[in-house]
Structure 1
């Protein structure tokens, strides 16, 4: 089975994406993306797949996957059981880390690790424990503090010992093969232009299909219509901004993520998250204050 392309939307004005999710979650599937990904399991155990590797994971599992390496973590939970926080993820592009290493030659020692990660790098529990508080903080950090934490995380990874590769040396991910499918070309276009206006006719042309065939294929591929898919991605991006930028107004966020009507944004946010964005922000602030007081 070919992996699906995951749309990794790094917010304009930010260098990388740091986020968390529960389980089940829509990105939990056999997928790939051109970004590096540091994936830390916080809760649950189960089976994970990286390239041609299959293994068992538990809390503390910490893996760095290189560009376009297919992967998936499947938790072993009873039916209908949900977990609010399963893992934390840090994603950054090959271009970003490459440029950073050019500007800061002291980071050149990471080159071997990044190359190693193309097979999937599994770190020890001690490395995972050292990174845990940094991964927790970076998800909600702002401004310069995000960069500080990112560099600290790179430092821990760069000093880590006994990391082991997961996929076999002969396993070579073939993104050109994945991307040859017209649907994944359309998904890549959505990824790059999520906050801009586009329509099904344009995407169908990219996929090399008629509009009706594209509509049917898109629903089979993603489990939802194009409108639902784009709405979900834009609402998720809005949540990231609400979590990371306390100063951004809800109106500004509405237009930044691609909506052109505030009342429609509020209505769609409510339908997707079960609460309006203003309440989402208040609950988030309350949660942060409670954590600080603990």
Structure 2
């Protein structure tokens, strides 16, 4: 599926019916790759909080599984449909906007894989065979669109990744990279002259605040202090923050803290009370309440389910040689 350039856009302007329109600076997205995993695989529906003009240091591979609409990568604007498979490089601004009637919701709009530069560089150093991926990583600085055939082949791999455990995740990751490297005629999206400018993005008020939150998540974060950091009154900051993130300040921070708590729960090294305080909550009852609100179960049950899932994967792996022996 090759998408033609449907409009001329640059980092700060686009054209709308011949009229010059200013584009806002992209918002920073804080990507939490689990501590005991090499990359993050997830899915989301529509509308969703990350559906906005945003960037992040991590590489991203996104496959649209439902809806149609317009997508924006750097200075590129195009149309998308199910099967749209795009890889974006580090700090490259992007956004997919679906044609969904106001008030309607879509349970799953896309599958997403995210990994950081350090991980892939270390992998290439350990496995020289992965050097073939370097050309793809370089091309992703402008965004890369793959064929519809490649998108169709990628879906079962990415879908299995959602629930895969242990070494199976790595096998699937390598299978996906191999598929992309061998894909016929991938298309660069942003213009050759386009360059992502994370230093410039970071200067914006909201990204300064989001970066501060990410670096100080385990500390006490007061909205009054963040408003002061942004140079705004508390009421103005509250409106500004919600406009950029889609959720109120407290809800945003709680969500990040619960995600961090899930990583610590999976590691199994700390008890729940210690995790509560380590991620920034100041009392256990509030931690349990927020965890239940976001995960629909208490942290103890969530940890037990994860341990059961991991044990099941290990048992399946151990059983494979025996099954093959009697095959």
The corresponding residue for 2:287 is 265
Query: Is residue 2:221 matched to residue 1:199?
Result: yes
Structure-to-structure mapping, 1:117-136, within 5 angstroms = 117-136=140-159
Query: Is residue 2:28 matched to residue 1:5?
Result: yes
Distance 1:283 1:87, change over 3 A: farther
SS at the partner of 1:234?
helix
Distance 2:267 2:35 in 1: 16
2:169 pairs, out of 119, 142, 146, with 146
The corresponding residue for 1:289 is none
Query: Is residue 2:78 matched to residue 1:42?
Result: no
Offset, 1:65: 0.2
The Cα offsets for residues 204-227 of structure 1, whole Å up to 9 and x where unpaired, read as 67x464785994554554354432
Distance 1:123 1:238 in 2: 36
Query: Is residue 2:87 matched to residue 1:102?
Result: no
The corresponding residue for 2:42 is 19
If you compute each CA radius of gyration, which structure gives the higher value, 1 or 2? 2
Distance 1:276 1:172, change over 3 A: same
Q: State the TM-score, normalized to the length of structure 1.
A: 0.82
Distance 1:8 1:246, change over 3 A: closer
Unaligned 5+ residue runs, structure 2?
A: 1-23, 309-327
Q: State the TM-score, normalized to the length of structure 2.
A: 0.75
The corresponding residue for 2:256 is 233
1:167 pairs, out of 176, 179, 190, with 190
Distance 1:41 1:265 in 2: 34
Offset, 1:189: 3.1
The Cα offsets for residues 143-173 of structure 1, whole Å up to 9 and x where unpaired, read as 2221121111111111112100111111111
Distance 1:214 1:140, change over 3 A: farther
Contact preservation (8 Å) 1:39, 1:64: yes
The corresponding residue for 1:276 is 297
Distance 1:115 1:98, change over 3 A: same
Distance 1:85 1:224 in 2: 20
